[in-house]
Amino acid sequence: MIELENITKTYGLGAEIYTALHAISFSIKEGEFVAIMGPSGSGKSTLMHILGCLDTPTTGTYHLNGKDVSAMTDNELAQIRGDNIGFVFQAFNLLPRTTVLRNVMLPLVYARVPVHERADRAAQALLSAGLTEEYFGHLSNQISGGQIQRVAIARALVNDPALILADEPTGNLDSKTSLIVLGTLQQLNREYGRTIILITHEPDIAEHAARIIRLKDGTIISDEKNASPRDAAREAALYA
**CA distances for 101 relative to 20, 131, 132, 158, angstroms:** 39, 11, 11, 11
Average pLDDT on 76-95 reads 86
pLDDT (tens digit, 9 = 90+) per residue, 128-185?
888 899 999 999 888 988 898 889 889 998 988 889 999 998 887 888 889 988 999 9
Strands of the 67-68 sheet, one edge to the other: 16-28, 2-13, 59-64, 67-68
| Domain locations in the chain as residue ranges | 32-48+85-237
Name the pTM for this structure: 0.90
Q: Which CATH superfamily includes the segment(s) 32-48+85-237? A: P-loop containing nucleotide triphosphate hydrolases (3.40.50.300)
Q: List, in sequence order, every beta strand (DSSP E) within 38-126.
A: 59-64, 67-68, 85-89
* Residue 13 confidence class, pLDDT cut points 50, 70, 90: low
pLDDT (tens digit, 9 = 90+) per residue, 89-133?
887 778 888 999 999 998 888 788 898 899 999 999 999 888 899
> Given a cut of 80, is residue 15 above it in pLDDT?
no
DSSP 8-state assignment for residue 43: S
Query: Is the distance from CB of 55 to CB of 81 less than 8 angstroms?
Result: no
Give the per-residue pLDDT at 218.
Answer: 96
Strands of the 85-89 sheet, one edge to the other: 85-89, 163-167, 195-200, 33-37, 211-216, 219-225
pLDDT (tens digit, 9 = 90+) per residue, 189-203?
998 899 999 999 999
